[in-house]
Chain A
Amino acid sequence: MHYSIAQISMNEPQGISPSESPDPGRWLDDHGDYLFRYAVFRLRDDNAAEDAVQETFLAALKAYRQFEGRGSERTWLVGILKHKIIDHFRRAVREAPLGEESEDGPEHREFFERPEPWDGHWNANYAPTDWQTTPAELIERNDFWKVFSDCLSPLPQRTASAFTLREVDGLKSEEICELLSIKVNNLWVMLHRARLHLRNCLELNWFKYQP
């Protein structure tokens, strides 16, 4: 995520002509659905995503004079939305203190052998198989994302959000810890469980299911 709205210069021209006045109704029509999908993927909650979209447009109205049509309108709005998503996480943490570690996600102990002699090694039924693919190949497959998101949805909301912020948006560990107000060890447990779960789910529902 980039923190871009703060970088806009203040020396804008005086007096905006009528054609340049903001048109929030059109923003809503042009970008509302896109922003909603963007927010729902990260917040994993429809109501929170709707609020974030509304707050984005309200902030955009206030900041419109600073935008002056530089760059794409959508990129500008997404930049604001990112801040609103972060605000949401901060608020959510304040309002609902965090629960038990068991809410970090499934441990998937069944993936591994019990008991001796191979205690803790892969159970052959769950062991990874060769995907025979590259990121470049996967990136071209748009339908991959649907499976990716479906695989995240059984995870606890907080774990899925942490995973998305880390692996999709590329936020640093420390940033996510601060956002969700968790300790770094806790984040690592969440990320590990999310990865373990997602890898297995992708293998079953994407790589083994290819027509």
Chain B
Amino acid sequence: MALKVYDKLKHSIRYYFLRTLPTCQQTVEQISQSMERSLSIRERIRLKLHLWICVWCQWYFEQLHIMRQTARAKADESADLISRRGLSDEARERIRRRLTNQN
């Protein structure tokens, strides 16, 4: 019985927050901004509360940070991992000629 009341209460609180806090669409934009500047106290609280009740936005938040950390860890090698495509023969010859003239 007590558990049922608790569940109902939890549901109501969650529902109340979902209706009053910024929407997910606004929240993901806020998440992106939080990676660019420090949010105000009010913004931070509203973001935290939204993440607390919304697992989707919580994953979104984590995944943006996963993307950043992964990307920065391989900054210098990443281009090499993406493709093995190098200079075209034509470009290579053009650059070679230019360098020989210079030397």
List residues of A whose CB falls within 8 A of some B CB: 22, 24-25, 28, 32-34, 36-38, 40-42, 46, 50, 53-54, 57-58, 61, 78, 111-112, 119-122, 127-131, 133-135, 138-139, 142-146, 148-149, 167-170, 173, 187-188, 191-192, 195-196, 198-199, 202-203
- With beta carbons under 8 angstroms apart, the residue of B33, B68, B87 that contacts A167 is B68
Residues of chain A within 8 A (CB-CB) of B67 are 167, 195, 198-199, 202
Q: By the criterion CB–CB under 8 Å, are A167 and B72 in contact?
A: yes
**A120-B23, A169-B75 given; A149·B83 CB < 8 A:** yes
A42-B79, A121-B25, A173-B36 known; 19 new pairs, CB 8 Å cut-off, are A28-B95, A28-B96, A32-B87, A40-B79, A41-B82, A50-B94, A54-B99, A61-B99, A121-B24, A122-B54, A128-B56, A130-B59, A131-B63, A145-B74, A146-B83, A173-B37, A187-B36, A192-B29, A203-B63
- With beta carbons under 8 angstroms apart, the residue of A54, A148, A195 that contacts B98 is A54
Q: By the criterion CB–CB under 8 Å, are A135 and B66 in contact?
A: yes
**A37-B85, A149-B82 given; A78·B76 CB < 8 A:** yes
Residues of chain A within 8 A (CB-CB) of B99 are 24-25, 28, 54, 57-58, 61
How many chain B residues touch A (Cβ–Cβ < 8 Å)? 52
Q: By the criterion CB–CB under 8 Å, are B87 and A36 in contact?
A: yes
Q: By the criterion CB–CB under 8 Å, are A128 and B66 in contact?
A: no
**A131-B66, A167-B71 given; A188·B95 CB < 8 A:** no
Q: By the criterion CB–CB under 8 Å, are B24 and A195 in contact?
A: no
Closest to B61 in A: A128
Residues of chain A within 8 A (CB-CB) of B94 are 50, 54
List residues of B whose CB falls within 8 A of some A CB: 18, 23-26, 28-29, 32-33, 35-37, 54, 56-57, 59-60, 62-64, 66-76, 78-88, 91-92, 94-96, 98-100, 102-103
**A32-B95, A168-B75 given; A134·B66 CB < 8 A:** yes
Closest to A187 in B: B36
Q: By the criterion CB–CB under 8 Å, are B24 and A146 in contact?
A: no
Residues of chain A within 8 A (CB-CB) of B88 are 46, 50
Q: Classify the interface of chain B: helix, strand, loop or mixed.
A: helix
Q: List 28 A-B contacts (CB under 8 A).
A: A28-B96, A32-B95, A33-B87, A34-B80, A36-B87, A50-B95, A54-B94, A57-B99, A58-B102, A61-B102, A111-B25, A119-B23, A122-B57, A128-B57, A128-B59, A131-B62, A131-B63, A135-B73, A144-B70, A145-B74, A145-B82, A146-B83, A167-B67, A168-B71, A168-B75, A173-B37, A191-B36, A192-B28
